Structure 1
Amino acid sequence: MATESSPLTTHVLDTASGLPAQGLCLRLSRLEAPCQQWMELRTSYTNLDGRCPGLLTPSQIKPGTYKLFFDTERYWKERGQESFYPYVEVVFTITKETQKFHVPLLLSPWSYTTYRGS
């Protein structure tokens, strides 16, 4: 299936513990025309290193608007931790399918930060 050479990857770090956020459930969707509905492409979990390297294969990626949904409420509840954000959605645009895209997420029970990584 998908490998490290996937054009789209993510990496989640639990900044409260200073460790990778392993076992965090996430869903990847793409906004589809003409109805502008989100179509779920993949559900996955972060690995022991907090990464989800193979979200799309090179043949699956195409220009468009994508969304990564991170189930943060479940992640924190499994750790016995109260949190403020029940989920995080990161919406981004891919214009060139030949590029690589990395979407890191820095996560704590009370905040999150994301950016386009390399």
Structure 2
Amino acid sequence: MTGLSTHVLDAVTGSPATGVEVSLQDASGTELASGVTDADGRIAQVNVVALIPGIHHLVFDTGNWFSANDIAGFYPEIDICFEVDDPDRHYHVPVLLSPYSYSTYRGS
């Protein structure tokens, strides 16, 4: 499988972060695709067309998610900038989220 997937985990509760809106953007900020995390906190295929090599942004609307879950959070948005070097490869970008911190890594 090629393309882009993501997974958001609420690191405080250890539960999936359901309902996080996510936008895939190119380097100029043009939206290429969007989605919402499912009951498992995942979007299995963010992009609807093939990724092209270059800089991309995966933007997570954490502010609305925090509000919807009655959580006072510090990061209203997470913008993860990454580079696609091989469009035939699958990219997985997970996020571990808490009110005052987050972490990410290149998953598999």
Of 21, 36, 39, the residue aligned with 2:30 is 39
Choose which of 14, 27, 45 in structure 2 pairs with 1:54: 45
1:91 aligns with 2:87: no
Cα displacement (A) at 1:101: 0.5
Q: Could you list the per-position Cα deviations for residues 56-114 of structure 1 after superposition, in whole angstroms to 9, with x for gaps in the alignment? A: 24x52110111011011110110111011111000000011111110000000110000
Equivalents in 2 of 1:29, 1:60: separation in Å?
13
| Matched positions, count | 108
Runs of 5+ unmatched residues, structure 2: none
Structure 2 residue corresponding to 1:110, chosen from 84, 100, 103: 100
Are 1:23 and 2:19 counterparts? yes
Whether 1:13 and 2:9 are equivalent positions in the alignment is: yes
For structure 1, the 5+ residue unaligned runs are 32-36
Work out the CA distance in 1 between the residues paired with 2:22 and 2:96. Answer: 14
Q: In the aligned structure 2, how far is the partner of 1:6 from the partner of 1:106?
A: 23
RMSD: 1.1
Cα distance in 2 between the residues matched to 1:9 and 1:39: 19
* Offset at residue 6 of structure 1 (A): 4.7
**Structure 1 residues 6 and 55: alpha-carbon distance in aligned structure 2, compared to 1, 3 A threshold:** farther
Mapped partners of 1:26, 1:99: distance in 2: 21
Shift of 1:24: 0.5
- Percent identical pairs in the alignment equals 38
Matched, 1:67 2:57: yes
